[in-house]
């Protein structure tokens, strides 16, 4: 799949399945919040190292959980694209694919560094 900007896709087969993609992008001159993510829900399952990973895929950062025949869920970030994708091929599954990007812009940087940061900010603003 190829999109310019932000894309969220759910492909669901089977019965009694739910899937939710959510993305938050925050650009701020304030310090970036580094708080830990919230705790998982009561029925979550941990993915072992063979099922989850971070890779470089088509020159994009990919974070993926692959549950084999049951389906997979990933996020691609790069080349002007943020893509969230979930595929469910079983029954009675619930998937939450969440992404939060926080970008802190520092006003104390040199002019050249500020121009680069403004360029990134413009790119992300256009993806909203």
Q: Between residues 86 and 102, which one has the greater pLDDT?
A: 86
Residue 115 in any domain: the answer is: yes
Residue 50, token pair as written in the block: 């063979």
Q: What distance in Å separates the CA atoms of residue 6 and residue 23, rounded to the nearest whole number? A: 9
Residue 89 in any domain: the answer is: yes
pLDDT at 104: 74
Q: Quick one: average pLDDT of 89-112?
A: 77
pLDDT at 53: 82
Domain of residue 50: give its range: 9-126
Q: Categorize the per-residue pLDDT at 16 as very low, low, confident or very high, splitting at 50, 70 and 90.
A: very high
Residue 2 in any domain: the answer is: no
pLDDT at 25: 79
In the chain, how many domains are there?
1
For residues 83 and 7, the answer to whether their CB atoms sit within 8 Å is yes
Does the reported pTM lie above 0.75?
no
Q: Quick one: average pLDDT of 51-74?
A: 85
Tell me which of 24-33, 42-51, 65-74 is least confident: 42-51
Q: Between residues 101 and 74, which one has the greater pLDDT?
A: 74
> Strand 52-57 to strand 60-66: parallel, antiparallel, or no bridges (unpaired)?
antiparallel
Residue 24, token pair as written in the block: 């938050």
Tell me which of 57-61, 93-97, 112-116 is least confident: 112-116
Residue 82 in any domain: the answer is: yes
| Helix, strand, coil tally for the chain in percent (to 5) | 15, 45, 40
Residue 3 in any domain: the answer is: no
Place of tokens 């959510």: 22
- For residue 61, what are the contacts with CB-CB under 8 A and spacing of at least 6? 54, 76, 77, 78
Q: Quick one: average pLDDT of 53-73?
A: 85
Residue 96 in any domain: the answer is: yes
Residue 1 in any domain: the answer is: no
pLDDT at 87: 92
Q: What is the DSSP string of 97-116?
A: EEEEEEEE--TTS-HHHHHH
pLDDT at 128: 45
């Amino acid at each position: 799949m190829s999109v310019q900007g932000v894309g969220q896709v759910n492909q669901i087969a089977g019965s009694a399945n739910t899937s939710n993609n959510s993305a938050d992008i925050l650009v701020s001159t304030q310090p970036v919040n580094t708080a830990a993510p919230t705790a998982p829900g009561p029925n979550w399952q941990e993915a072992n190292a063979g099922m989850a990973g971070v890779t470089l895929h088509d020159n994009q950062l990919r974070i993926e959980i692959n549950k084999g025949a049951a389906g997979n869920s990933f996020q691609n970030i790069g080349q002007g694209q943020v893509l969230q994708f979930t595929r469910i091929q079983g029954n009675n599954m619930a998937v939450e694919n969440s992404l939060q990007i926080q970008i802190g812009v520092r006003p104390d940087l040199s002019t050249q560094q500020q121009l680069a940061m403004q360029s990134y900010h413009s790119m992300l603003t256009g993806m909203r």
